[in-house]
Amino acid sequence: MAVEQFSGKVAFITGGVSGIGLGIAKTFARAGIRLALAYRNEEHRTATAQWFAANGFEEPLFVKLDVTDRKRFAEVAEEVEAHFGKVHILVNNAGVSVFGPTDEASYADFDWIMGVNFGGVVNGLVSFIPKLKAHGEGGHVVNVASMAAFLAGPQAGIYTASKFAVRGLTECLRYNLAPYDIGVSLMCPGLTRSNAFDSALKRPEQFSDSGFGAVKEGDVAPLAQLFEAGMDPEEVGAKTLRGIAENRLFILTHPEFQEDFQEIADTLMAALPDEEAPPARLAVETQRREAAKRAMERAIDLSDLVS
């Protein structure tokens, strides 16, 4: 689908009033896409509304939402549909960037980070996919992860786990929604100019028992300068829209990870045993690959994998 063909479509974006979410929203607006933006911070919401007014775009529908609140997410899906009639694009963008040594993490650390970064995506899918399927016009789902969906680090264990989980879910979901003409993409940005560095300062009270220790504003201040070197969120947004138009599974916005990906590929290939697989197992894997191809055209079940 060409970018121009998105004009008049409706998109819902979580975390849509700052950072990457706002960059995507601005790009979508320029493409003529009508917007519903979920937010939590009132100042960011006000600033976003002012930008849309100053640039002559239709004011988005703003909906206050904690993405971990399933009841509220379902209500928001109804509100967005009631306002616009149909939703064509879902962008699960909201997340928290919280780091610390995984071996010292508490249950609260796991519950909070996984609850937002993975659970928030799940809540978006469960709330909106039935609506995308029901109108029969096709559409697209973008799950925003991170390069952490591929690259692990010593201080990012739970964050990485959440992004790996989003990646696996997204790759599988692409098969499920293809027969409905609904594309699915995993968008993995690298360092982006945003306020993501201060997530640890926004920890909800119910998750205060952190194994990482207390975090003060001065602790994250050095990260602000680091994030200033990041890509402009609107560039990330423009690349995201192109990825949707091309129905790409992976939308990788930053070019600086070629060395990492080559190392991953080389490591995986080297880890495979240098031996022949028996014909029976080869036949099973051939059938799996063929079933995956068929899944892009029609819904499949276990009979496609076992015969």
pLDDT tens-place string over residues 45-74: 999 999 999 999 999 999 999 999 999 999
Q: In this structure, are residues 251 and 239 in contact, taking their beta carbons and an 8 Å threshold?
A: yes
Q: Is the pLDDT of residue 6 over 80?
A: yes
Q: 229 versus 265: which is more confidently predicted?
A: 265
Residue 289 vs residues 46, 90, 156, 249, 273: alpha-carbon distances, Å: 49, 28, 33, 17, 20
Report the alpha-carbon distance of residue 81 to residue 214 in Å, rounded.
Answer: 41
Q: In this structure, are residues 142 and 92 in contact, taking their beta carbons and an 8 Å threshold?
A: yes
pLDDT at residue 13, as a whole number = 98
Over residues 266-293, mean pLDDT: 96
Q: What's the CA angle centered on 31, arms 28 and 32, to 5 degrees?
A: 95
Give the model's confidence band at 155: pLDDT under 50 very low, under 70 low, under 90 confident, else very high: confident
Judged by average pLDDT, the poorest of 2-16, 174-188, 250-264 is 2-16
pLDDT at residue 225, as a whole number = 78
Boundaries of every domain in the chain: 3-272, 275-307
CATH class of 3-272: alpha beta
Over residues 81-93, mean pLDDT: 98
Reading across the β-sheet that carries 34-39, which strands appear in turn? 61-64, 34-39, 10-13, 89-92, 139-144, 182-188, 250-252
pLDDT mean across residues, the chain: 93
pLDDT at residue 28, as a whole number = 98
Report the alpha-carbon distance of residue 26 to residue 29 in Å, rounded.
Answer: 5
Over residues 76-89, mean pLDDT: 98
| Cβ atoms < 10 Å from Cβ of 48 | 24
183: three-class secondary structure by DSSP? strand
pLDDT at residue 106, as a whole number = 96
Q: In this structure, are residues 20 and 93 in contact, taking their beta carbons and an 8 Å threshold?
A: yes
pLDDT at residue 161, as a whole number = 97
Give the model's confidence band at 93: pLDDT under 50 very low, under 70 low, under 90 confident, else very high: very high
String of DSSP letters for 152-180: --TTBHHHHHHHHHHHHHHHHHHHHHGGG
Q: Please give the DSSP secondary-structure letter assigned to residue 181.
A: T
pLDDT at residue 111, as a whole number = 97
Q: What percent of the chain has pLDDT over 90?
A: 83
Of 58, 71, 61, residue with least CA distance to 31:
58
Q: Is the pLDDT of residue 1 over 60?
A: no
Condensed to tens digits (0 to 9), the pLDDT of residues 209-257 reads 999 988 876 777 777 778 888 999 999 999 999 999 999 999 999 999 9
**E strand segments, the chain:** 10-13, 34-39, 61-64, 89-92, 139-144, 182-188, 250-252
Q: Is 175 a catalytic residue?
A: no
Of 89, 83, 33, 21, residue with least CA distance to 57:
33
User: Residue 188 burial (CB < 10 Å; 0-12/13-18/19+)?
Assistant: buried
pLDDT at residue 30, as a whole number = 97
Condensed to tens digits (0 to 9), the pLDDT of residues 100-121 reads 999 999 999 999 999 999 999 9
Give the model's confidence band at 298: pLDDT under 50 very low, under 70 low, under 90 confident, else very high: confident
| Residue 272: partners with Cβ closer than 8 Å, 6 or more residues away | none
Give the model's confidence band at 3: pLDDT under 50 very low, under 70 low, under 90 confident, else very high: low
- pTM, whole model, 2 decimals? 0.93
pLDDT at residue 286, as a whole number = 95
Six-digit token pair at 51? 């930008």
Give the model's confidence band at 305: pLDDT under 50 very low, under 70 low, under 90 confident, else very high: low
Report the alpha-carbon distance of residue 181 to residue 183 in Å, rounded.
Answer: 6
| Residue 229: partners with Cβ closer than 8 Å, 6 or more residues away | 191, 193
SS3 content of the chain, % helix, strand, coil (to 5): 55, 10, 30
Q: In this structure, are residues 36 and 11 in contact, taking their beta carbons and an 8 Å threshold?
A: yes
pLDDT at residue 299, as a whole number = 72
Q: Which of 39, 159, 175, 180 is catalytic?
A: 159
| Residue 78: partners with Cβ closer than 8 Å, 6 or more residues away | none
